[in-house]
Amino acid sequence: MLYTIKEWTIVDNSITTGDLLQTGNRLFTGNGYIGRRGVPDDSEPSLLPATIISGLYDGDKIREPVNVPDPLFINIVVEGTKLSLDSDSVLIHEQSLDFRYGKYMRSSAWAINDSIVNLQSERFVDRDYIHRMCARHTISSDQNVHITIKIGINGAVHDLNGPHLETFHTVLTETTLNLQCVTVEKQIVLGIACGITFSPHIPFTVEQSPTGIFKVYHYELPAHTAVQCTVYGAVFSVLDPGNPIVNANATVSQAFNAGWDSLFETHCEKWDSIWKTGDVIIEGDDEAQCCLRYSMYQLHCHAPRHSGDNAIPVHGLSGQMHKGAVCWDTELTVFPYFLATEPDMVAKFIRYRIRTLPSAKQKASEYGYQGAFYARESQETGIDACSDFSVVDVWTERPIRTYFRDKQIHINADIVYMIKKYIDWTGEWSILLEGAFEVILECTRFYLSYIYYSPRYKRFEILDVVGPDEYHERVHNNAFTNAMVLFVFNTVKDYADMLRWEEPDFAHSTVERLHFDEDLMFLKTVIPHLYQKMPNAQNIIEQFDGYFHLESCSIDNVRSRLKHPQEYWGAGVGVAVPTQIIKQADTVALLALFPHNYSFSTKKATLEFYEPRTEHNSNLSTTMNALICCDIGELDRAYCYFRENAEFDVKGEPKHRSGTHPAANGGAWMIAIQGFCGFSIEHKQIKITPRLPEAWEKVRFSVRLSEGIYDVTVTKEKYTVVKR
């Protein structure tokens, strides 16, 4: 795999199937509504080409995002030979991404008979109008050759667990190709349109298949001349306002009238507007600068600006893995970047949780609890897509029972944490009146029905849970979970008191409607007696009851016990279960979320204890460890974690070909700004504690507060904050 990243561009010369799979992530483009994997437009299904639409799911046994018909499909044949990357005739192949403006580019050459054929392509997912994609291809040869170019809408797409589309209907209008189809499960209507300009203008024929419609051009291409075709694609669903196929046609017609140059110019203007507040400039470390900007680019590709109540899935819009689910990554590592630069986006994340509250209440009821129990893997309605059998035994190929869905109750508290951070930052507590207060009340009610009173210890405990460390399931008094639940209890009490003063009618009617008076009274008893793990004599906080009695060993030692490289380390019988080896930051995450609650010595001792025991099999983990490393002055270690996060989707690994990783992208910003710059908001004032890595000379970034936008400059010795 050969790639370079410089300034705002990634250049990739990969050509093997395995490496090209990774470019689908690395060269991804999107606008929050459409996500398009970074592979050539003529890619075979083996390269997992995909066009994913935000909020559109389908599936009976396995529900996942829908890979919609491709309106930018192209197939090129020269002298009877298909231009393909798996051909021995490939001379050159290079793909690149301009991540300042979200433009994918491709340059390839083939030796066909005695001629050399060149193909130059460029593509963007329109930032100005979210339903549109545009591609342009230029073909030339050093000899006279006959070319056949097939362009149009391809509905024969690859699904991981499909098919998800049926009832295809194609139509040719005077200027466009149209395809209408429906999703298999919910019969959601999709309308796709494709418009093509061809230079020079030549006749074409129309080819229709059961799942597609195409224009076919035959042309005798003279030597040392070029033919250029521009393709405008549009995608709508019945979930969007209006008629999908009418809207798609209108969108393509508008693109014809505007032309490529005008569309791309307005697209770039939208990106410029984003970077005006969303950029971070690092002086002294060019590679870190590039990778951090790339991470922020990825976050913007997935951000649902078109929606009033949506969130970013764990793999964004980059594919169908993880069932397109929204996980607690959003609440811990994705939202902080947007809170600082675009707080309205965090309000959308909160409204998503408000909208999906009924499903969370249904889940709690199914388990016999009161209140709301939010999904570990949440899709468009909030129903939990997490399986009871999340991993497979590599020997028997039988599914293994796991308890992530049943016992990972800290997700409720993660949501409340984001809500409170948003209100603290913006002062916009009106989000409570929109439904966030009810979310907090129902999360609290769930916890009140879940906790256990121990007559022996005369305290309330939280038993049988899964903390962030998913290798150890069904543990008692997980330090992270217990502390987060106490945080929720204090938060609901504070907001109830505040609303009684600010909005007495709303507070009274909400509490009365939900019959929450008794719960609020009960909280007064619970809060002072909810068990919290305290540092021991060595200043280390035990992760859960009995954790210190597990076998102390190294990660390499545990790895050596594997009988198969793909064995899962947890799930009751895994190699890590009887040991202190954990999947990801757990107790350290608690310290990172509440840094002011713990002393320097506790942070240092707890980090030093858990760091060598943490496998970091999650993007959340490295972020939390890095933040504590910054707190205790271990900047070299923090920098290593920063690079791991910022480069995660740039480098990629074979097991990560399935999608991009917003948690790593958001974590890179957190480490750079909250960690190295020591940025925080305290008592509605900006606070900076500079602790830059050795190579970093200066960092410049912007934050948006209720009073306006502030530009911050941080060096090793000082900082400035200037209102824009």
Contact between 177 and 193 (Cβ < 8 Å): yes
Contact between 71 and 235 (Cβ < 8 Å): yes
User: Distance between CA 588 and CA 611 in Å, rounded?
Assistant: 9
Q: What's the one-letter identity of residue 580?
A: Q
Q: Using the Cα atoms of residue 690, residue 693, residue 694 and residue 695 in order, give the sign of their dihedral.
A: negative
**What 3-state DSSP class applies to 530?**
strand
Closest of 484, 522, 344, 492 to residue 432, by C-alpha: 492
Q: How would DSSP label each residue in 120-189?
A: EEEEEE-SSSTTEEEEEEEEEESS-EEEEEEEEEE-----SS---EEEEEEEE-SSEEEEEEEETTT--E
Contact between 624 and 675 (Cβ < 8 Å): no
Alpha carbon separation from 717 to 97, 630, 670, 692, 698 (Å, rounded): 36, 16, 20, 9, 10
User: Distance between CA 314 and CA 331 in Å, rounded?
Assistant: 11
Catalytic residue among 331, 377, 442, 470: 470
Return the beta strands (E) in 345-407 as ranges.
Answer: 391-392, 399-400
CA 67 to chain centroid, in Å, comes to 17
User: Distance between CA 200 and CA 218 in Å, rounded?
Assistant: 12
Listed in sequence order, the residues at least 6 apart from 575 whose beta carbon sits closer than 8 Å to its beta carbon are 558, 559, 561, 562, 567, 569
What's the residue count for the chain?
Answer: 724
User: Distance between CA 5 and CA 15 in Å, rounded?
Assistant: 17
Q: What's the one-letter identity of residue 425?
A: W
Q: How would DSSP label each residue in 324-347?
A: G-B-THIIIIIHHHHHHH-HHHHH
Active site residue 470: yes
Longest dimension (CA), the chain: 90
Residue that has been written with the tokens 């399986």 in this structure: 387
Contact between 337 and 670 (Cβ < 8 Å): yes
Which residues sit opposite 133 in a β-bridge?
A: 125, 233
Helices (H) and strands (E) in the chain, counts: 21, 29
Angle separating helix axes 517-526 and 436-450, nearest 10 degrees: 60
Residues noted as catalytic: 470
